[in-house]
Structure 1
Amino acid sequence: MTVRANDVDYGRNGTVHYMIGDNRPVDPETSMSLFLIDRETGLITSNTNKLDRETLDRYYLPIVAYDNGVNPQSSTATVTVVVTDENDERPKFLQKIYRVDLSESQLSGPVVSVVATDDDVDDNAKLTYSIVTQNDLNFFSIITLPSNDGVITVYNPVDYENRSQRFFNLTVKARDANPNHFDIAHVEITVTDANDEKPEFLKKVEVITKDENIPENSLLHTFSAHDKDSPPNNEFTFSIADHADRFYVEQHGDYCMVKIQNGLDAQTLDRETSDQYTVKVLAIDKGIPAQTGTATLYIKVTDLNDEAPTFAKQYRPIVMEDEDPSHEPVITFSAMDRDTKKYGPPFKFELPPCKNPTCNENINRMFSLEFDPTGDGGNGTGKVMALGKFFREEQKFYYLPIIMKDMGGNNRLSMTGTSTLTIEIGDKNNNQHYDGFKEIFVYNYK
């Protein structure tokens, strides 16, 4: 730049010259002035190539203007020299290594911020961040903020259960407008486990067949499960989801044994109540929130001959008193069996012999039983006959025990039971009226 001063005198007295005054900026190594000024024109020029804006961005020059008179007059002004920026500085990361944990449950969003600085200013100091390692770009990206910071984000979820995704070492570059001006940092990302895996049964569905009436604590089936999470998220307990009154589990590490106990009906398996069961076995882990795996055990209950025949319906025959009953049967009955047909008809009926505890000699003298194996389509029927007259005033009801056998009655697997037929004696108006009496008390209050 050029400085200029005016002097209103004439001739030598008005001729102005320039020089740099005391306290001028000098090169600390050579003590030479960093700036020069032309004595005649006032042109200020640099006397060095060592100006560094990042060290000192401005200089203050005391410029003295003086005339050429016998007694020179002078004045001093200060010139401020501002050093403009040149893109001569490289970015530098504040840290060379960043370390951060990332939960696999984080599906997207910021992971860590990285910061680099550039001693240049304005556009020369604007930075751009990038991830150099290509494989890491499958999961991570980096954003350059207006504040000149970089933010690494995850956009594709990582999976802790995949061992190759438990640790990432990202190489991050920060560069300014000059492609040759850059710095490198490393970001170590350790993936932590989240409870995102539920326990898995090795086999989720099992179908078994069991006889009814099996003993309590019998083993039905064994299930195994595993959880791909890490401790404690991979620890789990087994339980029964339904029919817990009848079925229970014994756990041994990562497998459990499904067993049976008497249910609310005091039985283990009863085909006549239910011929199949669906049991849900749960494996519930200890993570927060807990994850649950499910297996299903289908139990088909096979029949045993554990049910004796009973009357096909509720019979309640009536025999009228004081009549000859020999011409008509009291009742013809049939039977049913809750077991399957394999253990059901044909049936056999008989009265208990008198040596049987259920025998009542009086009843056996009053009734007889005729068994017809061809009745009820070959299932067998029984016909009860009265052997004499009855009088209601003597006895209103007779209870006739009838022995019933299934599977023809002669099979070693036959089931025998006793059903009781209630026979009512019908009333006739066959008694005369007669006088009666009754004593009463009368209280007289005065």
Structure 2
Amino acid sequence: MHLDISESSPIGERFSLNNAVDPDVGTNSVKNYHLSSSEHFSIEIQTGRDGTKFADLILKKALDREQQAVHNLILTAVDSGVPTRTGTASIIVRVLDVNDNAPSFDKDKYVVDVMENSPIGSLVIKLNATDLDEGSNSDVVYSYRLSSEPFELDSKTGKLTVKGCLDYEEKQVYEIKVLAADKGAVSLSTHCNVVVRVEDVNDNQPEIDITSLSSRIPEDAPPGTVVALMGVTDLDSGVNGQVVCSVPGHLPFDLKPSPDGQSYSLVTKDYLDKETVHIYNITITAKDLGSPALSSTKVIQVDVLDVNDNSPLFTERPYTFYVPENNKAGMSIFSVSATDADGGENAAVTYSLDRKSPGPSITSFLNINEANGTLSALKSFDFETLKTFHFQVVATDSGVPSLSSNVTVNVFILDQNDNAPVILYPLSSNGSAEGVEEIPRNVNAGHLVTKVRAYDADIGYNGWLLFSLQEVTDHSLFGLDRYTGQIRTLRSFTETDEAEHKLVILVKDNGNVSLSATATVVVKLVEPKEAFAASDVKSAAKDQGENDIIFYLIITLGSVSVLFLISIIVLIAMQCSKSTDYTSKYLQETNYDGTLCHSIQYRSGDKRYMLVGPRMSIGSTIVPGSHANTLVLPDRRRASEEVSVF
């Protein structure tokens, strides 16, 4: 037998059961019923009008489907026969559900943490409310009232998901009240609180706010000068909001943090130099301590103001110039130049001559252009009078206070062929270059008749003298050495040779425009006895003449030697003041051959120089390619070198 009883049925309610049937009659028919033990049910025996026995099922304790949904009972019918016989029936009582249970959560309050960068649709929490009822009485529907929150609740599944962007910096905690209700005829419900805590994510870059800036800093500002003040903020929290600022280490600037770390001051850590860097673009980097770290930058431009801290510098130290003699007075001869690393007025350079230095007589005939440093000579130079001189030029800037520097200028006068040869012998009493020589007739070939002596005040090629026979009565009798001026016999004299011979000697230098002089020598042939007697008389006069010549020669050589000694000393001092690669070696050669020429050779760097003057014959040193004031000298180390001659 199947019975459906509502769990809401009241105690004492009766439920009719089927009767047992026994074919026997009388005492052998059904007499009684027994029910298996049950705390919820009992039976009550009833007798019908026809005398049949039947039982009613009585509810003696309220049912609870949630505790026991089905009750299995055994009903036994007993007759009165001997022996007693029984019959049984199974009673299945199904308890019908009544909506007597509200949905329930396992917690009254849920706390969940959500990252602020959670994407839309991310699951926050899945709520689960249970209802002990069945059917529609156990179907739970979820809901919450605050629809403006950035969350969405699935009414069927109870899933709470993100539906909008979360921002920790705007709101950190959300409290949501969720209602769970069943679908019973009379709906029952319950609620819980969901607390959503938004966790900070390092999603905000630090911000730099410049509160004060000095964009123009003088280059002599001491270290520690404040350039800028700035504040630093980060909307994140914890380590995500802790910020460290820095500047590139190679820059002469540093950042000093405040005690609270919320502001910084940008200061100089070294002296600035406008001549090296005139403008700085300082990149300030603010970096938080989050993971991954975020950073931001800000560029500050600082202009370095010029200070007059640099003196003018000359392009050469010292200057060396070579000026030809006979220059045109008043014309520029050379120029000097100086630069100043400063800017503006601090770099404007003016030039002047240091007239307080030794040798004021030299600077008195010089003039300098204050603007461009061009020097001009107020008079014409004469190499034979002045061969070299030096002075100092001062360059001054226009800064306040002004700075200056000076440089030594060494000037060497280059010889020009402006002096004709001067014949010292022969020289007659009236000053004409003419002499008479008497020689015996019996002399052999090669006999020295006389020697023409001459000198040239110029040097080098200009002072190198060559002798030649311009006129001669008999070319077969006399020969002339072109370098020494010696006149010798070429053969022995014969009876047919004339007793008197006239020789015109041409003496010329080797300048580009050659200058010359002539001398006349009259050679008289005498008998040996007459020549011997005349020689005694002549020797006395000749000794006196030669003594005069030697006296003038000594004066000339002394003057020239002193001038050249001064020139050598100046050259040595100048070369020694330069670097070791620009040294000079002086080699003096003196070869007296009667032409009053000499030379001084020296080396400067990769070039060789030769000063040629009186008391040297340089015929053996001339090679093809020589010209003007330049001699090409052979060198064992090179095939040829160009040698400048002064």
Q: Report the TM-score when normalising by structure 2.
A: 0.51
- 1:101 equivalent to 2:110? Answer no
Give 1:338-377 correspondences, 5 Å limit. 338-345=341-348, 347-355=349-357, 365=362, 369-373=366-370
Deviation at 1:307, TM superposition (A): 4.0
Among 278, 281, 298, which residue is 2:281 paired with?
278
Aligned residue for 2:256, secondary structure, equals: strand
- 1:382 equivalent to 2:336? Answer no
Unaligned runs of 5+ residues in structure 2 are: 3-16, 417-459, 462-611, 613-617, 622-632, 636-646
Deviation at 1:215, TM superposition (A): 1.9
1:222 aligned residue:
229
Kept in 2: contact 1:315–1:422 (CA 8 A): no
Aligned residue for 1:128, secondary structure, equals: strand
For residues 319 and 34 of structure 1, the distance between their equivalents in structure 2, rounded to whole angstroms, comes to 152
1:76 aligned residue:
88
- Relative to 1, partners in 2 of residues 1:193 and 1:33: Cα closer, same or farther, differing over 3 Å? farther
From the CA coordinates, give the structure whose radius of gyration is larger. Answer: 2
- 1:414 equivalent to 2:417? Answer no
Deviating more after overlay: 108-117 vs 167-176:
108-117
For residues 202 and 413 of structure 2, the distance between their equivalents in structure 1, rounded to whole angstroms, comes to 77
For residues 255 and 114 of structure 1, the distance between their equivalents in structure 2, rounded to whole angstroms, comes to 47
Among 182, 191, 202, which residue is 2:189 paired with?
182
For residues 248 and 414 of structure 1, the distance between their equivalents in structure 2, rounded to whole angstroms, comes to 33
Q: Which amino acid aligns with 2:405?
A: G
2:448 aligned residue:
none
Kept in 2: contact 1:131–1:173 (CA 8 A): yes
Aligned residue for 1:90, secondary structure, equals: coil
Deviation at 1:222, TM superposition (A): 1.7
Give 1:101-120 correspondences, 5 Å limit. 101-108=113-120, 109-120=122-133
- Relative to 1, partners in 2 of residues 1:10 and 1:222: Cα closer, same or farther, differing over 3 Å? closer
- Residues 44-72 of structure 1 show CA distances to partners (whole Å, capped at 9, x for unaligned) of 86757933211211111213356797766
2:468 aligned residue:
none
- 1:169 equivalent to 2:175? Answer yes
- Relative to 1, partners in 2 of residues 1:36 and 1:349: Cα closer, same or farther, differing over 3 Å? farther
Deviation at 1:127, TM superposition (A): 1.9
Aligned residue for 1:138, secondary structure, equals: coil
Deviation at 1:211, TM superposition (A): 1.9
- 1:121 equivalent to 2:134? Answer yes
1:377 aligned residue:
none
Aligned residue for 1:83, secondary structure, equals: strand
Give 1:222-261 correspondences, 5 Å limit. 222-240=229-247, 242=248, 244-252=250-258, 253=260, 254-261=262-269
- Residues 59-109 of structure 1 show CA distances to partners (whole Å, capped at 9, x for unaligned) of 112133567977664332433333243333210111112223344344552
Deviating more after overlay: 191-200 vs 416-425:
416-425
Kept in 2: contact 1:197–1:229 (CA 8 A): yes
- 1:156 equivalent to 2:164? Answer yes
Q: Which amino acid aligns with 1:172?
A: V
Kept in 1: contact 2:242–2:288 (CA 8 A): yes
1:444 aligned residue:
none
Among 269, 272, 276, which residue is 1:268 paired with?
272
- Residues 273-299 of structure 1 show CA distances to partners (whole Å, capped at 9, x for unaligned) of 333221122333333333334333221
- Residues 244-276 of structure 1 show CA distances to partners (whole Å, capped at 9, x for unaligned) of 4311111123222211133xxxx5141x33332
Give 1:83-98 correspondences, 5 Å limit. 83-98=95-110
Kept in 2: contact 1:203–1:295 (CA 8 A): no
Among 154, 161, 174, which residue is 1:143 paired with?
154
Kept in 2: contact 1:35–1:48 (CA 8 A): no
Aligned residue for 1:330, secondary structure, equals: strand
For residues 156 and 255 of structure 1, the distance between their equivalents in structure 2, rounded to whole angstroms, comes to 35
- Relative to 1, partners in 2 of residues 1:400 and 1:217: Cα closer, same or farther, differing over 3 Å? farther
- Residues 319-368 of structure 1 show CA distances to partners (whole Å, capped at 9, x for unaligned) of 557744456533245665544444444x421233454xxx7x59x94997
Deviation at 1:171, TM superposition (A): 0.9
**Alignment identity in percent?**
22
Q: Which amino acid aligns with 1:139?
A: P
- Relative to 1, partners in 2 of residues 1:201 and 1:319: Cα closer, same or farther, differing over 3 Å? closer
For residues 403 and 46 of structure 2, the distance between their equivalents in structure 1, rounded to whole angstroms, comes to 131
- Relative to 1, partners in 2 of residues 1:383 and 1:244: Cα closer, same or farther, differing over 3 Å? closer
Q: Which amino acid aligns with 1:160?
A: Y
For residues 103 and 353 of structure 2, the distance between their equivalents in structure 1, rounded to whole angstroms, comes to 111
- Residues 364-394 of structure 1 show CA distances to partners (whole Å, capped at 9, x for unaligned) of 9499752335xxxxxx222234775779xx9
Q: Which amino acid aligns with 1:247?
A: F
Kept in 2: contact 1:35–1:46 (CA 8 A): no
Kept in 2: contact 1:161–1:229 (CA 8 A): yes
1:402 aligned residue:
393
Among 64, 75, 81, which residue is 1:52 paired with?
64
- Relative to 1, partners in 2 of residues 1:128 and 1:401: Cα closer, same or farther, differing over 3 Å? farther
For residues 226 and 337 of structure 1, the distance between their equivalents in structure 2, rounded to whole angstroms, comes to 46
Q: Which amino acid aligns with 2:224?
A: N
- Relative to 1, partners in 2 of residues 1:338 and 1:318: Cα closer, same or farther, differing over 3 Å? closer
Give 1:305-344 correspondences, 5 Å limit. 305-309=308-312, 323-326=325-328, 329-332=332-335, 337-344=340-347
For residues 276 and 47 of structure 2, the distance between their equivalents in structure 1, rounded to whole angstroms, comes to 117
Kept in 2: contact 1:12–1:68 (CA 8 A): no
Please identify which structure carries the higher helix content.
2
Aligned residue for 2:63, secondary structure, equals: coil
Deviation at 1:239, TM superposition (A): 1.3
Q: Which amino acid aligns with 1:402?
A: V
Q: Which amino acid aligns with 1:140?
A: F
Name the structure, 1 or 2, with higher relative contact order (CA <8 Å, separation 6+). 1
For residues 23 and 327 of structure 2, the distance between their equivalents in structure 1, rounded to whole angstroms, comes to 174
- Relative to 1, partners in 2 of residues 1:93 and 1:10: Cα closer, same or farther, differing over 3 Å? closer
- Relative to 1, partners in 2 of residues 1:297 and 1:201: Cα closer, same or farther, differing over 3 Å? same
Q: Which amino acid aligns with 1:268?
A: L
Q: Which amino acid aligns with 2:220?
A: N
- Residues 203-249 of structure 1 show CA distances to partners (whole Å, capped at 9, x for unaligned) of 38956222223222222122122333334433332211x36431111
1:302 aligned residue:
305
Deviation at 1:155, TM superposition (A): 3.1
Kept in 2: contact 1:20–1:62 (CA 8 A): no
Aligned residue for 1:52, secondary structure, equals: coil
Unaligned runs of 5+ residues in structure 1 are: 374-379, 439-446
For residues 90 and 424 of structure 1, the distance between their equivalents in structure 2, rounded to whole angstroms, comes to 123
- Relative to 1, partners in 2 of residues 1:331 and 1:95: Cα closer, same or farther, differing over 3 Å? same
